[in-house]
Structure 1
Amino acid sequence: MNSTQIKHSLRAARRALSPGLRCFSGGEVTEDVPEWSAGSPHLAEEASLYVHWPYCLRRCSYCNFNKYIPKQNNDDIMTKCLQRETETLLQLSQVSCITSVFFGGGTPSLAHPSTIAAVLESVSRQVNLSHDAEVTLEVNPTPVGMSKLEDYCRAGVNRFSIGVQSLQDEHLKSLGRDHTSHEALQTIGEARRLCPGRVSVDVMFGRPKQTVESWGTELSELLRVCDDHVSLYQLTLERGTQLFKQVQSGCVTVPAEDVTAEMYQCARKTLHQRGFHQYEVSNFTRRNSVSHHNMSYWRGKQYIGVGPGAHGRFVPLGEGGVVREARTQTLEPDVWIREVQQRGHGTRRRIQLGHLELLEEVLVMGLRMTKGISHKHWELFSPTQGLHKVFGASVDVQELLQSGQLILDDRGLRCSWDGLALLDSILPALLVELERQTLQMPHTQFADGQTKTISNPR
């Protein structure tokens, strides 16, 4: 591959890796395409819902997410606008069932429990939200956050994701976190009491001053008290953040790339020894306590994003849409509020996803899972071009198969144990081959039996 192909492939991979968090652009489709983009009829009828609470009390030194320090208490108006946008987008999507709800941020544990209840009530008025649907709330493990956990459960939350990040108080302070390790452990205990088996903890590695040895000790301590789900995140230096500037100036150093790679492998082995099964690049579970909401992302299902800066992927059937769109809501809370009040939603950007763009997302997201992509799942989105046909003849892909990093067999396409740790370096070859094969096929037969000409989406 030449440098241009690699650059294009990496850009396509990056833009799909973080649904609901980072925006990406896809090519526009110039001709109508049937509603195959939803994958299959039942996929068009259901979606997951992401609700973004944009406020934090302070900004962490490493964070570049869409978050704001509130100037005043506007909980009432935020609640009404979240309700209204939820109703509007559900009507546009025409889905009949919401399979999961995730309240993220920002710091959604700053929201009043009545806000959570109000949004869930709005969902239930519009569509089916079963009593056992997974409803997750991200929690900042401060005393204030912990004090509201029981009220959140009464409001309808049945799963907590706790942003522990570190059990080293010195590291928490340098990261700009406003909790202590003791408070994090207390919050985990209270959450487990309220939602046993449905508490996830987030922990970060690759932090300044962190070593492989200290990381192993810290993770072992956490595993003694955590519940059945752990999410690992490698610290990423994001341009424009305080930590990025500190590292650039030489005031702070972070572990080298080979050290963070060793930390990741150390964590995988430690978690496996403690009975955790890795089911995705960053996620580990015992007793099958997987994140059903995130699974819907990785399986290429529809999701609706509500709130400032939220992202969605759904077919707007209510407007006569026939292809899946990538939607981004207005970032700034004050502007978003005005737009919701004026027209019912704050959608700032809509991009139709062409055949290639959708398959790119299915590929990139699906390979994050240890099970990878089954032939049956791929055929939902590519009924005439199977995995063997798309990737089987590629020299670059054959090298990955022969090296043992990638597996293509009767089960489907997936990374090996070693390959999963190298996913970012594996994806470029796959994405280049996917583009080559897709653009060589001017006609594609869709799941509804129709045949259409797809214009080059680039």
Structure 2
Amino acid sequence: MLPAALRKCRAGPVRCLSGMACRDSGCPVPGDREEVPGLQREEASLYVHWPYCLRRCSYCNFNKYISRSVNHVAMATCLQRETETLLRLSRVSRITSVFFGGGTPSLAPPSTIAAVLETVARHAGLQDDAEVTLEVNPTPVGVAKLEDFHQAGVNRFSIGVQSLRDEDLRILGRDHNSQHALRTLEEAQRLCPGHVSVDVIFGRPGQSVESWERELEELLLVCDDHVSLYQLTLERGTHLFKQVQSGQLSVPSEDITAHMYESARGILGKRGFLQYEVSNFARHGAVSSHNLGYWKAGQYLGVGPGAHGRFVPRGEGGVWREARTQTLEPDVWMREVQRWGHGTRRRVELIPAALLEEVLVMGLRLTEGISHQHWRRFSPGLELEQLLGCAELQELQERGLLILDTRGLRCSWEGLAVLDSLLPPLLLELLTHTRARSEPGELTTG
């Protein structure tokens, strides 16, 4: 079985600004905890969610809305204001990367992208070489605006190709065809050579291992230096889910999709692409620094309807990281931002055990895994050797699925493909240790 990590995720994962009432009766109140030294709380990445699309893909359950009359002026103003508010609340002095996702952010005016980046530069440090990524729907409208987006400050494009088979694109409900995708890739690489990523979905209705291998080989002839592979997931409530449930369409079995994944890993490796995460492959060092921030448990601010964030609200005296979610519905979100300066709908203080779970789950997605030094930043009282002390986890090591050595903890090549099955015993053992080590100072947050 393939790991759930192969499904595309968003950061993408309350209001208690000074002097403002919180709408969540369960909102935690910061206590008299000391801030942990040595953790880089002055820096974070930024995720900006553009919620609008022209149409909904048949498989998609992301927070997106179909609207023909977007108030672009209001949207841009609110994105800027929420960015400013969260920067002030977090007291972040340096943004390391920015990612515009959605929805379809390539439908936004380039001026909106520029305005958000200008706000970041004005209220926090944004280096000239900071990675700024824009997700692009490869339609004629999208490709026509690429140069303007580049001028606005975007230096990396993530192209949602998904497939080079027009019939499959129709089944997926995409509003582009293969020729549109190829043209978009060509233009994006002209503007940002070496900094163009391609998203592709496998396990599509009617797809075989052989047809998938041929398609991937074709894609690698025209793509740049980064590829993201995602297994098609049937999300309840989507049109595609209903089609499969009713028998109109059928998708490959788990054994076949597992074969597709393993085959793709081999093909990409032969083409010079190194796998650095469950779903992501890069050559010539073209990894996504923004996504690395998520996987390495860095702080990130989430701006826009439905965006998720993880940061310490130092501006109101907080010393523990919080998981924050912004209001989903765009019009409601805009009203809240106009009134309060932000539209945070939910906030949860991440106690040490919860933060360690994220460090473990996200870190093991990486082929390099979790170094001892990185783990100790979040858990000075619990070593990785102690975490893997139970018989079940030792058996996983003996089977060659988990590796614990002087470098740290990581999955083997075979283990990465079955990550979902490795996580439950790890998380159970972590829970056992964190319950036993709940004394102040044993576990820390950042």
Q: TM-score, normalised by structure 1?
A: 0.91
2:46 matches 1:55: no
Q: CA deviation at 1:35?
A: 2.8
Alignment CA distance shift 1:114-1:446 (3 Å)? farther
Q: CA deviation at 1:442?
A: 2.6
2:144 matches 1:147: yes
2:294 matches 1:297: yes
Alignment CA distance shift 1:19-1:144 (3 Å)? closer
Which segment is superposed worse, 127-136 or 381-390? 381-390
Q: CA deviation at 1:443?
A: 1.3
2:392 matches 1:396: yes
Amino acid at match of 2:392: D
Deviations 1:28-60 (A, max 9, x none): 699654333xxx545201000000000000000
Amino acid at match of 1:429: P
**1:412 corresponds to which residue?**
408
Aligned counterpart for 1:20 among listed residues 5, 11, 19: 11
Alignment CA distance shift 1:345-1:27 (3 Å)? closer
Alignment CA distance shift 1:250-1:447 (3 Å)? closer
Aligned counterpart for 1:319 among listed residues 316, 320, 329: 316
Q: How many aligned positions are there?
A: 430
Q: CA deviation at 1:197?
A: 0.4
Map 1:275-354 → 2, pairs under 5 A: 275-354=272-351
Structure 2: segments with no counterpart, 5+ residues: 14-25
Secondary structure of the corresponding residue to residue 103 of structure 1: strand
**1:170 corresponds to which residue?**
167
2:241 matches 1:250: no
Alignment CA distance shift 1:284-1:49 (3 Å)? same
CA distance in 2, matches of 1:323, 1:122: 26
Alignment CA distance shift 1:210-1:17 (3 Å)? closer
CA distance in 2, matches of 1:193, 1:71: 31
Secondary structure of the corresponding residue to residue 133 of structure 1: strand
Alignment CA distance shift 1:357-1:328 (3 Å)? same
Amino acid at match of 2:11: G
CA distance in 2, matches of 1:361, 1:352: 13
Deviations 1:49-89 (A, max 9, x none): 00000000000000000000114131111000000000000
User: Is residue 352–residue 443 contact of structure 2 (8 Å, CA) maintained in 1?
Assistant: no
User: Is residue 30–residue 319 contact of structure 2 (8 Å, CA) maintained in 1?
Assistant: no
**2:70 corresponds to which residue?**
73
Q: CA deviation at 1:200?
A: 0.2
User: Is residue 46–residue 95 contact of structure 2 (8 Å, CA) maintained in 1?
Assistant: yes
Alignment CA distance shift 1:33-1:247 (3 Å)? farther
Aligned counterpart for 2:99 among listed residues 102, 105, 119: 102
Aligned counterpart for 1:437 among listed residues 428, 433, 437: 433
Q: CA deviation at 1:139?
A: 0.2
Q: CA deviation at 1:143?
A: 0.6
Aligned counterpart for 2:359 among listed residues 353, 358, 362: 362
User: Is residue 135–residue 157 contact of structure 1 (8 Å, CA) maintained in 2?
Assistant: yes
Deviations 1:408-448 (A, max 9, x none): 11110000000000000100010000000110113142699
2:269 matches 1:272: yes
CA distance in 2, matches of 1:27, 1:408: 38
Which segment is superposed worse, 40-49 or 135-144? 40-49
Q: CA deviation at 1:27?
A: 11
User: Is residue 53–residue 103 contact of structure 2 (8 Å, CA) maintained in 1?
Assistant: yes
User: Is residue 64–residue 238 contact of structure 1 (8 Å, CA) maintained in 2?
Assistant: yes
Amino acid at match of 2:108: A
Amino acid at match of 1:314: F
Amino acid at match of 1:384: G
Q: CA deviation at 1:285?
A: 0.3
User: Is residue 382–residue 443 contact of structure 2 (8 Å, CA) maintained in 1?
Assistant: no
CA distance in 2, matches of 1:144, 1:243: 26
Amino acid at match of 1:415: C
Map 1:82-121 → 2, pairs under 5 A: 82-121=79-118
**Percent identity between the two aligned chains:** 67
Amino acid at match of 2:164: L
Q: CA deviation at 1:390?
A: 2.0
Q: TM-score, normalised by structure 2?
A: 0.93
CA distance in 2, matches of 1:434, 1:27: 26
Deviations 1:373-395 (A, max 9, x none): 0000000000121111222x111
2:412 matches 1:421: no
CA distance in 2, matches of 1:310, 1:33: 28
User: Is residue 201–residue 231 contact of structure 2 (8 Å, CA) maintained in 1?
Assistant: yes
Structure 1: segments with no counterpart, 5+ residues: 1-9, 453-458
Secondary structure of the corresponding residue to residue 235 of structure 2: coil
User: Is residue 384–residue 444 contact of structure 1 (8 Å, CA) maintained in 2?
Assistant: no
User: Is residue 308–residue 333 contact of structure 1 (8 Å, CA) maintained in 2?
Assistant: yes
Aligned counterpart for 1:189 among listed residues 164, 186, 190: 186
CA distance in 2, matches of 1:405, 1:241: 35
Please, what is the CA RMSD of the aligned residues?
A: 2.0
User: Is residue 278–residue 285 contact of structure 1 (8 Å, CA) maintained in 2?
Assistant: yes
CA distance in 1, matches of 2:317, 2:324: 16
CA distance in 1, matches of 2:148, 2:158: 16
User: Is residue 101–residue 134 contact of structure 1 (8 Å, CA) maintained in 2?
Assistant: yes
CA distance in 2, matches of 1:261, 1:166: 18
Q: CA deviation at 1:107?
A: 0.1
Amino acid at match of 2:156: R
Aligned counterpart for 2:258 among listed residues 261, 264, 280: 261
